[in-house]
Structures are given as structure tokens and as C-alpha cells.
Amino acid sequence: MSKDQYILAIETSCDETAVAIVKNERELVTNVVASQIESHKRFGGVVPEIASRHHIEQMTITLEEALEESGLGLDEIDAIAVTEGPGLVGALLVGVNAAKSLAFAKQKPLVGVHHIAGHIYANRLEKEFEFPLLALVVSGGHTELVLMREHGSFEIIGETRDDAAGEAYDKVARTLKLPYPGGPHIDRLAGEGEESIDFPRSWLEKDSYDFSFSGLKSSVINTLHNAKQKGQELKDEDVAASFQASVVDVLSTKAVRAAEEYGVKQMIVAGGVAANSGLRQALEEKFAAVDTELLIPPIHLCTDNAAMIAAAGAVAFNQGHRAGWDLNANPGLDLEMYGERKK
């Protein structure tokens, strides 16, 4: 075990073409992300067919850039990891087929990785895991509380019943006519506004760790609509601050309650919305009072990247997971089933 182990990973589940190399499970060697955001802006969201077209144009360029940056040769790579799902099927297909081709050409082992497992494992590039731990996964497509008792095991104790947190951000941003992607704009406006509107908090059943954001989203839209009809002027900054306060309150309160109930050593925040400064601040305040260590990765590891796929893929690889040449994109891949998958 004295030899260093290098995992090269590919991630193309949405609108980033990403390639990264991770050394010995935890050391980031290189992390290249080719973003398509400029191309999707004019459509107000990611257009799947256009995302797929960009991926195939960028794939080998991104691979080459990552390899050159690492100073490694392909022969030094021990295994290829790739996001097999969830995500946009056409986008995933480019990454999956590129990974298979790379693994086949160089006769390397291949490992399929769940995108959310990746988001969680991004944190392990910063700090070693201590089990049991909880992960609060918040992104455009996900809002989940995931319990991990050991490496590679994932138990979902709470999830959204309707919109993901990031989705609610995007919809409210659209209502406020903010440019795509709206999340960072709301976060910025919220920092300049007052929490002057009392938007609802959706707590659901007393013991539930599930989330619901569609009611909040409707409430924001209705409030804006009613104000307009009455000729009242609501400041966008105040709407953003009040909306964000509701989202952040529910997320952080449930996270703390879960951390205490499950007696976890760490609370990991993962996914694109983990970049949100309001959420970071609320979590930091609430977790200062409890025994659980709060871990929030730096922003470049929160948003979609391949380093996280390499980090999760390295663990799966060392646990003996191997994908066959028939590996396929799986847009609806289930996290718990992925964790239970046998070698």
C-alpha cells in the first residue's frame, strides 16, 4: 500500500463538463470545470439538448486540460470514476461513454458514482469523516438529510416532498426578474434587505425531517401579486431577505434537530446551495451550541465538479465496486440502493 493511488473522475450530469484527479482518496490533484452557464442564460435555465451538445464538444478538451495540469500520464491512473446518475440523461451519457472508452482504451477499472454521494464526499477532501455523520444536501435538484453510519452507506432520513430548495430559489428569482441562475442574486439581495415579510415556514409533521418549499414559493408569488394590485411597492431586497430567512430557518432547524437525535459527530453541508451565505451563517450560529462539528466545503467544491466524484469513486473502488462495459447513464439512480449495491 505504499504506492500512491490516483482516481480520475468525469462528471457531466447537468451543465458542467468536469474532470478531476484525486490522490489516495482525499488529496485533490486537479479539478477542471468547463461551465456552460453563459450558453444557457438566454433560455433562463438549462436546456438539456444544448447541454449534451456542449459536453461532447468539451469532453476531450477537459480531459486533456486536467491531465496536463496534474503532470500525470494516463498510465499512472488507477481507476476511472464517473457520475452515472441522477441527472439529465443526455448529459450523463456523454460522461458515462467517455469514462467507459477511457477505461477500455487503457484497460483500467471503471466505477460508477451517485452524484449526491459525490456532493457529500466533496467534504472529505477537506476533512476526514467521523461516523456517524449527517449530510444536508441542498441543490437545484435535491434537498435531503442523509445519515451515514460508515463509508459507502447512505440512509435518507428526510427529503423534499415537492420543490428542491434550489428550485424554489430559481422560481422566486424568476418572479423577481433576476437573471439565471437566480440563487446567488437572491443571496446577494437578501444581504441588503430587511426580513420585513413574514413568509410561512413549512415544518410538516412534528417528527418529520422532510421538507416542502412549494407553499413558500406560492406565498412569495402571491404576496408580490397582491402588493402590485394594491399599488404598493415591495423592495426586492426585503422580499429576498424574507424568503431566504424562511428557507434557511427550516433547513437549519431540522438539521440541528436531526444532529441531536442521531447523535452524529459531523454535519456536512453539500450541494450548490451550500454556497449560500445566509444558510452558512444560520448553520454556523445554530451549530455553535451543539456538539456536532459543522463542515461546509469551499464554494468550488459545493457546486458540481468531478473532484467530488473522484473522492466518492475512490472509496467505492477501494470497497471493491466495479462497473462493467455495459454501465449506463441512470437519470433516476436511487442513493440508498446505490449504497447497498454489491460488488
Partner 1 sequence: MNILAIDTSNYVMGVAVVKDGVVAGEYVTHLKKNHSIRLMPAIDALMEETNTSPEELDRIAVAHGPGSYTGVRIGLTTAKTMAWALDIPVVGISSLEAVARQGAFFDGYICPFFDARRGLVYTGLYGQDMDVMKKEKNVLMEEWLHELKQLDERILFVSQDLAVHEDLIRDVLGERAVIPAYPYHYSRPSLIAFSGEVKEPGPVHELVPNYLRIPEAEAKWLEQQKGQ
Q: Residue positions in the annotated binding site for substrate?
A: 137-141, 170, 183, 187, 276
Which cell is 290 given? Answer: 451543539
304 binds Zn ion (CB under 5 A): yes
Q: Point out the annotated binding site.
A: 115, 119, 137-141, 170, 183, 187, 276, 304
The one among 17, 30, 70, 97 contacting partner 1 by CB under 8 A: 97
Contacted entry of partner 1, Zn ion, none for residue 207, CB cut-off 5 to 8 Å set by kind: none
Asked whether position 177 contacts partner 1 by CB under 8 A, the answer is: no
Q: Fill in the per-residue mask, 136 to 155: x = in contact with Zn ion (CB under 5 A), - = not in contact.
A: ---x----------------
Q: Using CB under 8 A, which of 1, 105, 288, 289 touches partner 1? A: 105
Using CB under 8 A, which of the segments 91-99, 164-172, 188-196, 306-314 binds partner 1?
91-99
Interface pick for partner 1 out of 9, 18, 19, 93 (rule CB under 8 A): 93
Does 266 bind Zn ion (CB under 5 A)? Our answer is: no
**Nearer Cβ to Zn ion (122/258):** 122
Query: Of the two residues 220 and 308, which places its CB atom closer to Zn ion in the complex?
Result: 308
Q: Of partner 1, Zn ion, none, which one sits near residue 131, judging by CB under 5 to 8 A according to partner kind?
A: none
49 is a site residue for partner 1 (CB under 8 A): yes
Which of 80, 86, 117 lies closest to 325, judged by CA? 80
Report the partner that residue 96 touches, choosing among Zn ion, partner 1, none (CB closer than 5 to 8 A by kind): partner 1
Binding site for partner 1 (CB under 8 A): 42-43, 47, 49-50, 52-53, 56-57, 59-61, 63-64, 74, 90, 93-94, 96-98, 100-102, 104-107, 324-329
